[in-house]
Amino acid sequence: MKIDILTIFPEMFEGFLTTSIIKRAIQNNLVDIQIHDIRNYSKDPHKKVDDYGFGGGRGMVLMPQPIFDAVDDLKQTNTKVILMTPQGKTYKQKLAYDLSKEKHLILICGHYEGFDERIRTLADLELSIGDYVLTGGELASMVITDSVVRLIDGVIEKESHLNDSFNNNLLDYPVYTKPVDFRGMKVPDVLLSGHHANIKKYREEEAYKKTKERRPDLLEGENNG
């Protein structure tokens, strides 16, 4: 998979690309992630990429020309262009799985007061990571990239993400490690039994119980589906 991210703050991605699972996925040639400074596509002599919005109002608005030219330069026949915006579709785990099957993603990070409305015509998909507003789309694009890359074959063990929260509309079951008894809080006996069928049943029951207590809306979504 190839992921191109368009941003006016490329330096924000330095730690993200050189740490942990993302770093190993890049080193193992499982994903190619490139960060592109939108300013490099500006035709303005001062590399300006934003201006005041027509009609007044506070804040600066990203201009269409640099972003259109960047997408024109990077887009291929199998590309999905994603615009990061609070107005977009709320991101879910199922969509992460769908995106992990794509060959090429372009993520456009908005910033300042927003972006020229015509930029929306470039997008195959508009995404939001939640009902709140960030100073820009950079953090959101990292969230999307991280959640997608870990699902690519070979990045992590498949069993690890099959048991993730939100698979099958359930939160993940509780997990424990050493010591068996910590400050009077003990690991459930069934996990120490070595009886795989009982352990599986316990985990399924606990996942359902946790979901019902903390996110009953997930179960309602399953029932309505």
Domains and CATH numbers, the chain: 2-149 (3.40.1280.10), 163-224 (1.10.1270.20)
> Model confidence over 70-100: pLDDT tens digits?
999 999 999 999 999 999 999 999 999 999 9
pLDDT above 50 (res 128): yes
pTM of the model: 0.86
Tell me, yes or no, if 45 is annotated catalytic. Answer: no
Name the strands in the sheet holding 114-115, side by side, starting at the edge strand that comes first in the sequence.
Answer: 50-52, 60-62, 114-115
Q: What is the DSSP letter of 13?
A: G
Residue 155 has, within 13 A of its CA and on its CB side, a CA count of: 22
**What is the pLDDT of the chain when averaged over all its residues?**
91
Angle at Cα 178 formed by Cα 173 and Cα 184, nearest 5°? 85
pLDDT above 80 (res 17): yes
Model pLDDT, residue 140: 96
* Contact status, residue 178 vs residue 185, Cβ threshold 8 Å: no
Choose the catalytic residue: 164, 172, 174, 215.
Answer: 164
Tell me, yes or no, if 220 is annotated catalytic. Answer: no
Cα separation, 126 vs 108, in Å, equals: 10
DSSP calls for 195-207: -HHHHHHHHHHHH
Choose the catalytic residue: 50, 86, 138, 206.
Answer: 86
